[in-house]
């Protein structure tokens, strides 16, 4: 399935999930944000991709600005902006940026599911699609930093990340790997996964956002 249908189906699920819920429900996966804030971030972030506005990405200010600028907006306002920006973003889904947008929207779907106590869609095409860009980045990072290669065994197959013969193996689900590399798991949670080899060899590389979650996160 191509990027646009995956994105649109995820967007539809999020809309159905949060409609009629308390928009001020805290979202523990994104500390300081509410349900409304997450949707506002998805709407504003999509426009920033259209405008190629990425200042503050490294520091986290990128997302915080989007939420801050929309504090006085309603959840309906956020949905309306998201719809409008989705139309503007159409061409992006036929470029490498499309896989970035998939990773973003699917991660936040599960942040919202955790906040609202409605787990689901963990074995979906969307979750597997959301791993495409992160695994590319992880492979590149490991090669650039001479991190020993790692075999990752998922429910639909396995692949080697990094250069050369794998020095270890990680067996997990696509969902758990997505949450781990997306900053939704602590270092201790990642180390407790099914490893062959010393996880400390790869733990730093797996922090694609620059850091792992400080406290364990269950969902």
Q: Where are the domains of the chain?
A: 3-121, 131-201
Enclosing H/E stretch for 43: helix 35-51
Can you give the pTM of this predicted structure? 0.95
For residue 202, the model assigns a pLDDT of 97
Question: Which pair of tokens denotes residue 144?
Answer: 């650039």
> How confident is the model at residue 210, as a pLDDT?
79
pLDDT at 1: 58
Q: Distances from the Cα of 90 to the Cαs of 17, 69, 93, 201, in angstroms? A: 23, 24, 6, 40
Give the max Cα distance, the chain: 53
Other CB atoms within 10 Å distance of the CB of residue 67 = 20
Spell out the per-residue pLDDT of the chain, length 219, in tens: 589 999 999 999 999 999 999 999 999 999 999 999 999 999 999 999 999 999 988 888 999 999 999 999 999 999 999 999 999 999 999 999 999 999 999 999 999 999 999 999 999 999 999 999 999 999 999 999 999 999 999 998 999 999 999 999 999 999 999 999 999 999 999 999 999 999 999 999 999 987 899 999 999
Distance CA 203, CA 213 (A): 12
C-alpha to C-alpha distance for 132 and 138, rounded to whole angstroms: 10
The reply to whether CATH 3.30.1050 applies to domain 131-201 is yes
């Amino acid at each position: 399935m191509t990027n646009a249908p995956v994105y649109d189906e995820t967007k539809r699920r999020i809309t159905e999930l949060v409609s009629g819920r308390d928009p001020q429900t805290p979202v523990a996966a994104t500390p300081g944000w509410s349900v409304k804030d997450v949707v506002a971030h998805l709407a504003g972030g999509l426009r920033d991709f259209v405008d190629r506005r990425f200042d503050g990405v490294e520091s986290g200010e990128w997302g915080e600005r989007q939420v801050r600028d929309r504090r006085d907006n309603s959840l309906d306002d956020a949905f309306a902006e998201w719809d409008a920006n989705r139309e503007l973003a159409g061409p992006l889904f036929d470029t490498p940026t499309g896989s970035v947008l998939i990773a973003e929207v699917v991660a936040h779907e599960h942040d919202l599911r955790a906040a609202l106590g409605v787990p689901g869609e963990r074995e979906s095409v969307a979750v597997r699609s959301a791993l495409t860009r992160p695994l590319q980045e992880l492979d590149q990072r490991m090669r650039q930093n001479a991190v020993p290669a790692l075999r990752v065994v998922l429910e639909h197959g396995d692949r080697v990340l990094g250069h050369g013969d794998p020095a270890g193996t990680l067996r997990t689900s696509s969902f758990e790997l997505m949450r781990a590399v997306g900053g939704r798991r602590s270092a201790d949670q990642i180390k407790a996964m099914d490893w062959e080899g010393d996880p400390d060899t790869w733990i730093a590389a797996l922090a694609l956002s620059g850091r792992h979650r400080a406290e364990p996160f269950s969902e």
